[in-house]
Chains A and B, each alone.
Chain A
Amino acid sequence: MSPEPRPRRQLHLAAHFPGVNNTTVWDDPRSGSQIDFASFTHLARTAERGLFDFFFLAEGLRLREHKGRIHDLDVLGRPESVTVLNALAAVTDRLGLAATVSATFNEPYELARRLATLDHLSGGRAAWNVVTTSDAFTGENFRRGGFLDHADRYTRAAEFLATARELWDAGPEGGPPRRVDHRGPHFTVRGEPPLPRSPQGHPVVIQAGDSPEGREFAASAADVVFTRHGTLEAGQAFSADVKRRLAAYGRRPDALRIMPGVTVVLGDTPAEAQEHAAEIRRQQVSPQTALLTLEQVWGVDLSSYDPDGPLPDIDPDPHGELARGRVRIADPQAVADRWRAVSRAKGLSIRETVIETTGRQSFIGTPESVAREMTAFAAAGAADGFILVPHLTPGGLDPFVARVVPLLQERGAFRTEYAGTTLRSHLGLPDPVRPARKD
């Protein structure tokens, strides 16, 4: 089966349920529950009304800590992804359903079965974002425990995925099931597949890692890459780099969709959009969050500093490790130097500096200008589409769907109806070829 020919470059869009970090604003009259099923239904139905490719859930398997205590400033608490997506399959018809699930703290047979179940029960809409985050801190919640070093995480993830695919391929399709007999460095899995081959053959595989090993893993095995490289130049460089790696695995450049996570702020005029964006940034960076963000860079307690005052004169402690459960900052001194330069040049306080230097929104403008910029982004090879991260639960995507989607459609840059029923068909990905029977 070959992919549907795509008449012209069309964007792919996904809806990220707001996460557990400070970009999710809870201090707003419109911000609803992060855990009630109604919130998930609202956002998923909004995304489906907007003909999005998929709905996306992140995962964190241990509550983050700061200075040895649970981080209490951000939205906290979320459901287990695969379970909530099974429920969402009941209230949506076409929308893809993507779960982030760790390859480190799961085992292939069980997860392959759970994902095949989701693919069956959603009529072919399941996706798995294979993440490799692993540290002893998170491991304390699991039988497996422990720590995998960086290189091992990806060899485990690759073998995990290959084993899951063996199980998916072995499912009976008119004939008897095939036995799986996998013996590798990380896993030994022998037995019969749990289910008939699912509607998509394999759920769509997403990868979200940035290191050379992560990019190599994406090039070898993923259908979609979720990346943080959301500016035009960074997106172009990232996309070129990952797509260049595909050939080594016998894959064509259009076998992989690159989708940066982005944020959008709309206004009736450019000035109104900028004002709105600044207001959201103030909501995202409370005085307490500003100090905490600074402490994450400096690695020391800065609670005596005034968030409305100047940045500290002292240098970061390169060994200070106040934050647990989040990605480490590679070069704190460089970040501190940059922030101090920004603060000096513009006369900004601690809070203003954090607002200025972190998490600026990706697309700010009128619906027309945002539609134009997004289209240009794709045309310039910086992305195949976007994973939109709203700042409000659950209504954060309503304005985009109401105002930008129709303009993207007018430009011919986005579908006007779902052509197929599976997520693979939305993404224009070929159905995986089922290997011939070996026995």
Chain B
Amino acid sequence: MPAPHHPPRLAVALDAPRHPLRPDAAHYTALARLAERGTLDFVTLGDRFGGPGPDALGLLARIAPATERIGLVPAVTTTHTEPFHVSTALATLDWVSRGRAGWTVEVSTTAAEAALTGRRPAAPPAEVWPEAGEVADAAGRLWDSWEDGAEIRDRATGRFVDRDKLHPIDFTGRTFAVRGPSIVPRPPQGRPVTVVDATGAESTGGPGERARREVAAARADVALVRAEDPQTAGAARAALRDRARAHGRDPGRLLVLASLPVELESPADAAGLADLLTDWYAQGAADGFHLRPADPVRDLARLVEGTVPPLRERGLLRRSYEGTTLRAHLGLPRPAGIYAATPEAAR
């Protein structure tokens, strides 16, 4: 199996179990700017359908204009929401951030969440994860439903768009159908980056766990795996890449990031983290890391002060951003749409 060759991707969560989301734009703007100073690839914000707390996608849209390069990846739930709205909201996040949007696909399995909508009973992970995969599929098709170049503004014929480049998606899933095309033009990245937490917070094994992993293998651009040691992470990466291949995908297009809890109580911890990331990466454990600070304010500051500089010195982290989009940071090409007549060269 090829070892990763692009420098490790680096992402950080802005929320933590003891620091749940709150409706405070200044707080998250400051954190995202800090992550941007550290030239990380993206920040994540967790979310649940039932909150409590603000809508994570809305919150990252709110801070998008106050940041320039950092990728913005909210969790978006797919169980009690409309796939069409999920798709248009993410396309819009990509537009307002000029190509920095992604999303972590999430589901809702609790009775409390189901009671907030009252439309369908709670269902276990093994049922809602396949649906989440379908939502991701439909969202991707909606993003592609406007081919690049659909807008022509042709004065001679009076046509604003070339409607041959607008496509119904006619998607029929197990629980929903979407006709399309989208009402939002194709977003700057073509498709915002799809992230799937392939292991989940409470690893229980079983069919739900498998369903989640399958969505990661089939649909994700970035999969997160929670692992305690580099061997476990490397094995999870290999397994995901195998499954991606089985789904007919180029495994090189699936980045597997080890998702690690971090607690930087001292500057020495920050330097130690740099050593640990260097070591895991050298062992081929992952394509990069998603760090989950226990205390985002404290830990992110320590990370930028004490972990980022040694990584830069070792050539494992950029000193400044070269690209402007999240895909560019991650080294993922802008995909040609599935409806594009002649697939354009990856930009």
Contact = CB atoms under 8 A, between A and B. Distances in A.
A141 B118 CA distance: 21
A194 B83 contact: no
B82 A105 contact: yes
Given A83-B57, A84-B96, A109-B117, A77 B52 contact: no
Nearest to B159: A72
Contacts of B64: 87, 90
A60 B183 contact: yes
A376 interface: no
B97 to A, nearest CB: 8
A340 to B, nearest CB: 24
Interface string A30-72: 0000011100110000000000000000001111000001101
Interface stretch (B161-169, B274-282, B316-324): B161-169
Given A80-B85, A80-B88, A116-B54, 10 more contacts: A35-B185, A60-B183, A72-B159, A73-B160, A87-B61, A89-B62, A90-B66, A105-B85, A113-B51, A140-B178
B129 interface: no
A271 interface: no
Contacts of A83: 57-58, 61, 89, 92-93, 96
Contact of B151 (A77, A87, A194): A77
B345 interface: no
B163 A70 contact: yes
A35 B95 contact: yes
A27 B151 CA distance: 13
A198 B177 CA distance: 35
Contacts of B155: 27
B184 A194 contact: no
Contacts of A288: 157-159
From A40, A73, A109, residue with most partner B Cβ within 10 Å: A109
A116 B83 CA distance: 21
A305 interface: no
Given A105-B82, A117-B23, A141-B84, A75 B160 contact: yes
A188 B181 contact: no
A190 B115 contact: yes
24 contacts: A26-B153, A26-B160, A35-B95, A35-B185, A62-B183, A63-B183, A69-B163, A77-B146, A79-B91, A79-B96, A83-B92, A87-B61, A89-B25, A90-B25, A90-B29, A90-B65, A91-B65, A109-B117, A117-B55, A120-B23, A141-B84, A143-B175, A188-B118, A195-B23
Chain A binding site: helix, strand, loop or mixed by DSSP? loop
Interface in A123-174: 140-145
Contacts of B54: 113, 116-117, 120-121, 194-195
Interface in B164-208: 166, 175-181, 183-185
B59 A117 contact: yes
B98 A37 contact: yes
Contacts of A78: 183-184
Interface in A192-222: 192-196, 198
A357 to B, nearest CB: 19
Interface of A: 26-27, 35-37, 40-41, 60-63, 69-70, 72-80, 82-84, 86-87, 89-91, 105-107, 109-110, 113-114, 116-118, 120-121, 140-145, 177, 187-196, 198, 286-289
Contact of A145 (B25, B65, B66, B177): B177
Given A84-B92, A191-B116, A37 B52 contact: no
Interface string B41-65: 0000000011111110111011111
Contacts of A190: 115-116, 118
Interface of B: 23, 25, 29, 49-55, 57-59, 61-66, 80-85, 88-89, 91-93, 95-98, 112, 115-119, 146, 151, 153, 155, 157-163, 166, 175-181, 183-185
Given A90-B63, A110-B49, A36 B95 contact: yes
In the A-B complex, the 6 residue pairs with the closest CB atoms: A188-B118, A194-B51, A120-B23, A288-B158, A140-B179, A87-B96
Contact of A37 (B50, B65, B175): B65
Contacts of A195: 23, 51-54
Contacts of B97: 87
Given A82-B89, A83-B93, A87-B62, A27 B166 contact: no
A110 B118 CA distance: 12
Contacts of B92: 79-80, 83-84
B183 A121 contact: no
Interface centre among B25, B66, B98 (most CB of A within 10 A): B25
Contacts of A90: 25, 29, 62-66
Contact of B160 (A74, A84, A192, A198): A74
Given A77-B185, A79-B91, A72 B83 contact: no
B117 A189 contact: yes
Nearest to B87: A80
A360 B275 CA distance: 70
Contacts of B118: 187-190
A37 to B, nearest CB: 5
